[in-house]
Structure formats: C-alpha cells, structure tokens
Amino acid sequence: MQEWEERELERRDAREEGIEMGVEMGQELKLKELIKKKLSKGKTLEVIAEELEESVDTIRKLAGD
C-alpha cells in the first residue's frame, strides 16, 4: 500500500470515528432532555429509568449533569 493510501485510510477512519462520537453525544443530549422533562412532571428516577429502558444509575448520572 502506498503512503498516500495509508493517509487516506487514516483520514477516513478518523472521520467515521468523529461521526460516531457526534451521534453518541446527540443521543446523550436527547436523553438528558427527556429526563429533564420527566423530572419536571414529577416522575421519579426509577420510573424514568423504566420508561426509557435505562438503568437508574445512568438516569441519575445524566440528570445530575
């Protein structure tokens, strides 16, 4: 493989990794928004965790951020 091909593969991998990170961050932000809305309606962390199919620890962590 030529050097330019290796650089192109590295760039492509980095781009894909960046896209994946962006998607994960977006999903986390959406989850945080949902948690805030549900908390404002008086729901408990346990109920929210069940509704969102997440662990209570995950909900607690995201609610505290």
Predicted pLDDT at 60: 95
Pick from 37, 35, 32, 30: nearest CA to 50? 35
Range of the domain at 31: 3-64
pLDDT for 2-43, tens place per residue?
A: 999 999 999 999 999 999 999 999 999 999 999 999 999 999
CA dihedral 7, 13, 15, 16 (to 10 degrees): 160
Number of domains in the chain: 1
Predicted TM-score (pTM) of the model is 0.73
Q: From CA 42, how far away is CA 28, in angstroms rounded? A: 21
Confidence (pLDDT) at 65: 63
Residue 1 pLDDT? 76
